[in-house]
Amino acid sequence: MLDFSLTDQQVLMKQAIAEWSKANMPEEKIQEWYRNRGIDQAVAKSWVDAGFGKLGIPEEYGGVACDKVTLCLAIEELCHGGGNIPMAPNALINFDVLEFGNPDQIKDAMEYYYEQGIPKYALAISEPNAGSDNQNMSTTATLGADGKIHINGTKTWVTNAEWSPALIVLAKDEDPARENRKMSMWLVPTDLPGVRIEKLNKIGMQIAPFATVHFDDVVIEPDAALGERGQGFYNLMKNFEFERCVLIAELLGEAQAAMDDAVAWVNERRAFDQGIKSFQLVQEHITEMQIKLTNSRNFLYRTCWKMDNGIPVNNDAAMLKRYAAPALTEVCSEALQLFGGLGFTDQTRVSRLMLDCRGMQIGGGTIEVMVHIAGRGLIKEYAKNGFYY
């Protein structure tokens, strides 16, 4: 039997997050955080202290266990507060450590997170010549005669690198050659000699800023490896499926905020001596926007539901991102259109929401690469089973 309703607990959680957002994230504050390249740490900490930031973290590490549907509902509601609020993707970094770390690494990362309200690590995978084509990366981790690991190379577009005390760095084992498929993840403090961070300016999502990070013979201990050596890339890819769900939950919250603003405006604005809500072309925008929101929401929570039930979602997560990232950007763009000239100023938030959503057609795997993943997967599934559900 199909049941699309939320549980009482989920409804209460969403209400509590909406109240928390109202109290902690007024629009003027959010604008200030976008200008200042980061949220107030006290607010991030309050998110953790309120328990929302502990969702999905196992109880043995001080968290609050929950299913993926519930976690994405929380993230959607947080971003519905008005932006690409960094506590949403923070959860993902923690999950990489929780999934692949040893007990000491997990304990250390969680302690830092609970004390500071922000995760200890940012994720450094992409390189100037290796984004979609990760295999082309040339950052290496080599074992020196001193028995230590030496990291050399450059990572870029690393979200939050400028204020994270440490990075999860994906590097090739020993040899930068394209054919070398062995990569490992390393925990690298950003205050080590040889680490140089260069700030980059984003056109959206400035609240979670980018940086390029240079590693010039950065020396770490062999026990700084996160997860199994040589398997770093494959391991990270496993977490990417849920990462795609989380990213779309963020965008869904943001696009819903744009929709809320657009509907309020349409109800208020008059032109040609009548409310603009009476124009069919305005109604068409509202209808198309809601179709995109509803489709994205259904697809997101169905994918989460599959994950919660142990059903593989490699194709679904890729198709979800392929469909919903552009669709939700369009929702914000249509909201901007309905505001007319005002929408093209910074006196409304819809343009900011649109640019935030736009970034996610690239970050975490481009929407073209999603076709590369899902297209091949679907053809295989149909050949094997004759259908895909």
Ligand X SMILES: Cc1cc2nc3c(=O)[nH]c(=O)nc-3n(C[C@H](O)[C@H](O)[C@H](O)COP(=O)(O)OP(=O)(O)OC[C@H]3O[C@@H](n4cnc5c(N)ncnc54)[C@H](O)[C@@H]3O)c2cc1C
CB 117 within 8 A of CB 41: yes
Mask for 131-150, x = binds ligand X (CB under 6 A): xxx-----------------
Q: Three-state DSSP class for 119?
A: coil
The one among 20, 47, 61, 157 contacting ligand X by CB under 6 A:
157
CB of 101 to ligand X, least distance (A): 18
The DSSP output letter for 83 is S
Query: What is the footprint of ligand X within residues 264-303 (CB under 6 A)?
Result: none
Per rule CB under 6 A, is residue 158 in the interface with ligand X? yes
Query: What is the footprint of ligand X within residues 73-132 (CB under 6 A)?
Result: 123-126, 131-132
Alpha carbon distances (Å) from 355 to 83, 360, 362: 10, 9, 12
Per rule CB under 6 A, is residue 64 in the interface with ligand X? no
How many residues sit close enough to ligand X to count as binding (CB under 6 A)?
Answer: 20
Per rule CB under 6 A, is residue 168 in the interface with ligand X? no
The one among 140, 154, 159, 303 contacting ligand X by CB under 6 A:
159
Amino acid present at 293: L
- Dig out the tokens for 174 from the structure: 């020993």
Per rule CB under 6 A, is residue 359 in the interface with ligand X? yes
Closer to ligand X at the Cβ: 157 or 265?
157
Query: What is the footprint of ligand X within residues 196-235 (CB under 6 A)?
Result: 205
Give the contacts of 334 (CB within 8 A, at least 6 positions apart): 262, 285, 288, 289
What's the rounded Cα separation, in Å, for the pair 383 and 318? Answer: 19
Largest CA-CA distance found in the chain, in angstroms, rounded: 81
Stretch that binds ligand X, among 135-143, 212-220, 226-234, 357-365 (CB under 6 A): 357-365
What's the rounded Cα separation, in Å, for the pair 224 and 5? Answer: 44
Per rule CB under 6 A, is residue 24 in the interface with ligand X? no
**Residue given tokens 């490896």 in the structure block:** 225
Per rule CB under 6 A, is residue 313 in the interface with ligand X? no
Q: Are strands 225-226 and 121-124 parallel, antiparallel or unpaired?
A: unpaired
The residues binding ligand X (CB under 6 A) are 123-126, 131-133, 155, 157-159, 205, 359, 362-363, 365-366, 368-369, 372
